[in-house]
Structure 1
Amino acid sequence: MRPLERQREETSEIDEALAWHDGNARAAIATLLADCAYLRWQLELAGRALSPGFTRGWRPHTDRE
């Protein structure tokens, strides 16, 4: 017989985000939306800085296809 294996308690990224905001779901969502807006802005800046020749015609998109 194999000895009993101790199961690890894993937390998800969702649980971690909620814990960071002391369980306040609205604050967690607001932070995630602000982060998303910042990353979209960064992607827009990067897209303007890239030349089409460097990326062989590929351009970054801010929305999912």
Structure 2
Amino acid sequence: MSTVVAQTEEPEFDLVEAALALCGGDAHATITALLDELRFVRGQLALSEAGMSVGFTRGWKPRFEIEGDT
């Protein structure tokens, strides 16, 4: 006996629209919120870098900037 699984197509999720919606459509408030979040995450990354030894992470070191051609 074979089971047929119906596949439904998920609608595309737009992260930009979702971020804007969280701030009531206000682009300035959205950018401010995202920059605040970035500042927080970078602070957490700095704390984790200070608290981890190289042996614990097997040589991995956190980066604060995106690598690539920007």
TM superposition score normalised by structure 1: 0.77
Q: Give 4+ residue runs of structure 1 displaced > 2 Å after superposition.
A: 7-11
Greater relative contact order (CA < 8 Å, ≥ 6 in sequence): 1
- Residue 47 (structure 1) aligns with: 49
CA RMSD of aligned residues (A): 1.9
Identity %: 39
Corresponding residue pairs, total: 59
> CA offset at residue 9 of structure 1?
5.7
> CA offset at residue 22 of structure 1?
1.2
Aligned 1:23-38 pairs, distance under 5 A = 23-38=25-40
Unaligned runs of 5+ in 1: 1-6
TM superposition score normalised by structure 2: 0.72
Unaligned runs of 5+ in 2: 1-8
